[in-house]
C-alpha cells in the first residue's frame, strides 16, 4: 500500500534534520562566489547582477520573507515533525507557492532532498484536512472528470494529429514504440506535439499514439494530491503496457513516468517499458552522423539560447546522483564521476544546438544561469495554475536573462516551459521568439537524413542509461 504523506515525512526525518539552515540553497553557483559573468543587466523585472552567486529560489525572490526560501520550508518540516507546528491554511500558503524546481536541492552540500520533503509536506497537509487552494481544486476536479487538467474532451486529445495529417499513428496497432503526448501539448501547445510526431515520421519511426492516454499526474504529485496522481498512473500503466519504448516531448511527463512512477508502484513492480525524451534520440542520431541539418537563410546569424527545463535537467541530475550513490560500495563516493555524468546529461540538448550552429549558421549562446544552476521558468509545482502572477514574473526573470545575452530565439524542450516563457515574453515585451528545439527543426525544415535510422535505433536505450552509472571496476 502507498505511504501517506506523514509517513513519507517521517521517513525523511533524518534528511530534514540534516538541514543546518546555512541558506546556501538560496543561491545559484553557491560554491562559486567569484564566478565571472555578464555584470549588471536592466531587464523588465529590474536590474539584475549576473556575476558570482545570484539568488536562485523563485519563491524567495518573489515573496522575500525567510519562510518562503527553502531553508524556511525545511524549518517548517522540522517543526511539524517535532510537534511545534500544526498544519493550517497559513502554513500551507507558505510552502505551496514553490515551483519545486529543485534549485535548493542542487545547491545543498548536505544533499537534503528538498523537493521530496516539500512534496511530502503538501501531501501530509492535505491528509490533515487542510483544503487545496481553490485554483488547485478546479484542476483536481477537471482531471477526475476528464482525465486532463484543461477540461478537454477525450475525443479531442489527438485532434492535432488528425488536423496535421498524422491520423495513421492514432491507435497504430502492433507498433512497439509509443509517443506519450501529455495534456499541455495535446490541448494547448499542439505545435510541440505536431513537431515531435512529424519528426518521428520523417525519421521513419513506426509509433503509436495511445488512445487511452491520460494526464501523467505530474501536477498532482507536485501539489500533494497523490491519490489523484496514482489513479492516473495506474491508467497510463495499463494503456501503455504493450509497448517497449515510450517517447516524450514534455519534460514534466518524462520525469513523472521515469522517476515518480517507479517510486509509487508496488514493491517489486517495474515499469513495463523503457522511456526517453525525443531530444535524446535526436542527439544520438547527430552523434552517430545519421542526421545533419540544412543551412537556413532565415536563421543564419540569429542568436539562440537554451532554457534547461527543471524536469529534464535538475530532477534527472539529482536522481542520477542519488542512484549512483546507492550503487556505490564505498562509503565515500568519488563525486568527480557523478559530476561527469551530470555534465554529460546536460550536454544532450546542447549536442543538437551545437550541430545546428555548425550546419544552419545560427549562433548558440548560453545564458548566465545554466545546467544545474539554471533558473526555473516558473510553471511547475502547481504554481502556474495556483499563482499565475508569481509564475509569469519568474518566467520574465528568465526571459531577462535571455535578453541579457542578446537572444533572438529562446529555445527549450518542454511545452509547459514553452507556454510560460512565451506568455511572459509577450506580456512583458521581451521581444524574442520562443521555440522548442525539435519544433525549430521541423518548422524550418532543417532535417537532413544521411543514414536512415532503424527500429533498433529507436528502441535503443537513451544516453541517460549509458552515462548515469559509476564506472565499472
Ligand atoms: S537545505 Fe541545505 S543548503 Fe539549504 S539551509 Fe539546509 S543545509 Fe543549508
Ligand atoms: S524548489 Fe525552487 S522554488 Fe521551491 S524552495 Fe527550492 S529553489 Fe525555491
Q: How far apart are CA 134 and CA 142, in angstroms?
A: 13
19 lines ligand 1 (CB under 6 A): yes
User: According to the model, what pLDDT value does residue 455 have?
Assistant: 95
Once rounded to an integer, what is the mean pLDDT over residues 256-284? 93
Residues with CB under 6 A from ligand 2: 57-60, 70, 73, 98-104, 114-115
Verify whether ligand 1 is closer than 6 Å to residue 38 (CB atom): no
464 has a pLDDT exceeding 90: no
Structure confidence at residue 1 (pLDDT): 64
pLDDT for res 467: 76
Residues 443 and 312 in one domain: yes
CATH number at residue 62: 1.10.1060
Name the 3-class secondary structure at 448: strand
CATH number (domain holding residue 226):
3.40.50
Cα 56 to ligand 2 centre (Å): 8
**Please, which pLDDT band fits residue 473 given cuts at 50, 70 and 90?**
very low
Confidence of residue 45 (pLDDT cuts 50, 70, 90): very high
**Looking at ligand 1, which atom is closest to the CA of residue 18?**
7
Task: Give a yes or no: residue 138 inside a domain.
Answer: no
Eight-state DSSP code of residue 5: H
CB atoms within 10 A of CB 318: 22
Over the stretch 177-188, which tens digit does the pLDDT of each residue have? 999 999 999 999
CA nearest neighbour of 217 among 161, 259, 175: 259
Instruction: Using the atom order of ligand 2, give the atom closest to the CA of residue 103.
Output: 7
> pLDDT tens digits, residue range 64-89?
999 999 999 999 999 999 999 999 99
What band does 57 get if pLDDT is binned at 50, 70 and 90?
Answer: very high
Same domain, 98 and 180: no
pLDDT at 334: 75
pLDDT at 454 over 50: yes
pLDDT of residue 399: 98
State residue 447's pLDDT score: 97
Give the number of domains in the chain. 3
Ordered strands of the 363-364 beta sheet: 363-364, 303-306, 409-412, 433-436
pLDDT tens-digit profile of 386-435? 999 999 999 999 999 999 999 999 999 989 999 999 999 999 999 999 99
Residues 440 and 377 in one domain: yes
Residue 473 lies in a domain: no
Give residues with Cβ within 8 angstroms of 439, minimum separation 6.
191, 192, 195
First vs last Cα of the chain: how many Å apart? 38
Residue 186 counted as domain residue: yes
pLDDT-derived band at 266, boundaries 50, 70, 90? confident
pTM score, two decimals? 0.94
Same domain, 237 and 185: yes
Question: Domain range for residue 55?
Answer: 5-127
Alpha-carbon gap, residue 187 to 160, rounded angstroms: 8
Amino acid at each position: 500500500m502507498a505511504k501517506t504523506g506523514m509517513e513519507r515525512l517521517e521517513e525523511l526525518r533524518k534528511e530534514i534534520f540534516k538541514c543546518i539552515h546555512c541558506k546556501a540553497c538560496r543561491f545559484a553557483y553557491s560554491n562559486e562566489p567569484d564566478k565571472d559573468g555578464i555584470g549588471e543587466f536592466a531587464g523588465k523585472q529590474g536590474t539584475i547582477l549576473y556575476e558570482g552567486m545570484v539568488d536562485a529560489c523563485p519563491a524567495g525572490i518573489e515573496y522575500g520573507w525567510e519562510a518562503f526560501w527553502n531553508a524556511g520550508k525545511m524549518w517548517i518540516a522540522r517543526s511539524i515533525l517535532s510537534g511545534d507546528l500544526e498544519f493550517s491554511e497559513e502554513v500551507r500558503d507558505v510552502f505551496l507557492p514553490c515551483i519545486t524546481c529543485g534549485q535548493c536541492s542542487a545547491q545543498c552540500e548536505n544533499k537534503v532532498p528538498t523537493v521530496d520533503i516539500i512534496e511530502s509536506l503538501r501531501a501530509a497537509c492535505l491528509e490533515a484536512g487542510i483544503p487545496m487552494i481553490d485554483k488547485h481544486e478546479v484542476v483536481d476536479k477537471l482531471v477526475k472528470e476528464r482525465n486532463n487538467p484543461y477540461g478537454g474532451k477525450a475525443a479531442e486529445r489527438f485532434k492535432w494529429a488528425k488536423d496535421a495529417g498524422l491520423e495513421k499513428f492514432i491507435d497504430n496497432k502492433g507498433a512497439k514504440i509509443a509517443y506519450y503526448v501529455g495534456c499541455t501539448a495535446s490541448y494547448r501547445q499542439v505545435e510541440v506535439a505536431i513537431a515531435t510526431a512529424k519528426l518521428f515520421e520523417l525519421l521513419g519511426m513506426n509509433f503509436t499514439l495511445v488512445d487511452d492516454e491520460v494526464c501523467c499526474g505530474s501536477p498532482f504529485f507536485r501539489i500533494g494530491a497523490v491519490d489523484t496522481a496514482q489513479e492516473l498512473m495506474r491508467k497510463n500503466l495499463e494503456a501503455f503496457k504493450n509497448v517497449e519504448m515510450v517517447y516524450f516531448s514534455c519534460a514534466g511527463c518524462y520525469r513523472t513516468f521515469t522517476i515518480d512512477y517507479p517510486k509509487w508502484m508496488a514493491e517489486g513492480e517495474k515499469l513495463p517499458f523503457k522511456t526517453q525524451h525525443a531530444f535524446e534520440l535526436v542527439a544520438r542520431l547527430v552523434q552517430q552522423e545519421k542526421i545533419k541539418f540544412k543551412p537556413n537563410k532565415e536563421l543564419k546569424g540569429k542568436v539562440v539560447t537554451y532554457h534547461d527545463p527543471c524536469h529534464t535537467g535538475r530532477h534527472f541530475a539529482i536522481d542520477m546522483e542519488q542512484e549512483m550513490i546507492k550503487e556505490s560500495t564505498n562509503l565515500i563516493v568519488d563525486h568527480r564521476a557523478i559530476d561527469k555524468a551530470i555534465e554529460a546529461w546536460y550536454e544532450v540538448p546542447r549536442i543538437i544546438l551545437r550541430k545546428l550552429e555548425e550546419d544552419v549558421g545560427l549562433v548558440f549562446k548560453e545564458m548566465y544561469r545554466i545546467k544545474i544552476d539554471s533558473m526555473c521558468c516558473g510553471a511547475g509545482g502547481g504554481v502556474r495554475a495556483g499563482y499565475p502572477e508569481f509564475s509569469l514574473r519568474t518566467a520574465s526573470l528568465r526571459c531577462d536573462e535571455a535578453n541579457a545575452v542578446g537572444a533572438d530565439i529562446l529555445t527549450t524542450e518542454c511545452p509547459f516551459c514553452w507556454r510560460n516563457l512565451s506568455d511572459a515574453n509577450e506580456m512583458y515585451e521581451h521581444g524574442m521568439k520562443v521555440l522548442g528545439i525539435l519544433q525549430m527543426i521541423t518548422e524550418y525544415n532543417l532535417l537532413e537524413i544521411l543514414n536512415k535510422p532503424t527500429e533498433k535505433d529507436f528502441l535503443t536505450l537513451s544516453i541517460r542509461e549509458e552515462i548515469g552509472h559509476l564506472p565499472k571496476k
